[in-house]
Amino acid sequence: MKTPYDFSNKVALVTGAASGIGLACAQTFASGGARVIVADRQRDVGEAAVAGIRQAGGQADFLEVDVADPASVQAMVDATMALHGRLDIAVNNAGVGGRRNPTDRYSLDDWQHIIGINLSGVFHCLRSELPAMIAGGGGAIVNLASILGSVGLAGTPAYTASKHGVVGLTRTAALDCAPQGIRVNAVGPGFIETPMIANALADAAMTAHLISQHPIGRLGQAQEIANAIAFLCSDQASFVTGSYYTVDGGYTAR
């Protein structure tokens, strides 16, 4: 779908862009004329995503990254600067769901794995992206939180803590960087039909339960999240920073 926003002359970096919401974001920015960096730890799927964007007439390149590793993230931003000489837009989207277990039985390994990717990963990205944007005179960043950035869900202590952390990190980075012309926002999706929740959707009763939690009467689509992210990264959102923007079919309105 072609975005109504103009991203021509912009360089847009999306982590976790091989799949789901990140892929929809990469396609959306490309449809608006951006030069897109598809960054992911999955090389094959990421390169296929780039081929699809180019086939549709867009500009994209793939970079392999593990957001849990700060050196890998710095190399991703350095490679972006080497390719394009600037960074205007970043969507820090890479994330994992992880196993569900009650807090009293949650393993330390699972905790560190989820926090390392979902929260520290966003921090690593900000730490490398912000200097590049400051050097270029401004930019726009969206971090992927979740509805679980504002409410809890039994059995997800690490995921929920990571997403609450992303909301706080977003607000602080927005305050730190507002004087430099960089806007930083977070998006909080409800349950979106992507590979991340494929296991839950394989269970009909669980699917019906998840749908029942969204007053709008269905789950969301990756493109519906990408549409909100595109707005937040566009010049139309020039006064929006430090916000936590839920796109959840009414999940958190109850």
Candidates 80-88, 102-110, 123-131, 190-198; binding stretch for ligand NAD (CB under 6 A): 190-198
Angle between helical axes of 20-31 and 43-55 (0-180°, round to 10): 30
Q: Which of residues 207-246 bind ligand NAD (CB under 6 A)?
A: none
What is the longest distance spanned by two Cα atoms in the chain?
51
Full strand arrangement of the beta sheet holding 244-247:
59-64, 35-40, 11-15, 89-92, 139-144, 182-189, 244-247
- Asked if 201 touches ligand NAD (CB under 6 A), the answer is no
| Known active-site residue 159 | yes
- Asked if 70 touches ligand NAD (CB under 6 A), the answer is no
Terminal C-alpha separation, the chain: 31
35 three-state secondary structure: strand
Q: What angle do CA 49, 141, 2 make, to 5 degrees?
A: 45
CA dihedral 113, 117, 120, 122 (to 10 degrees): -170
Is 67 or 130 the residue whose CB approaches ligand NAD more closely?
67
Candidates 11-19, 104-112, 201-209, 233-241; binding stretch for ligand NAD (CB under 6 A): 11-19
- Asked if 196 touches ligand NAD (CB under 6 A), the answer is yes
- Asked if 91 touches ligand NAD (CB under 6 A), the answer is no
Is 33 or 90 the residue whose CB approaches ligand NAD more closely?
90
Active site residues: 159
Write out the residues near ligand NAD by the rule CB under 6 A: 15-16, 18-22, 40-42, 65-68, 93-96, 117, 121, 144, 146, 189, 191-192, 194-197
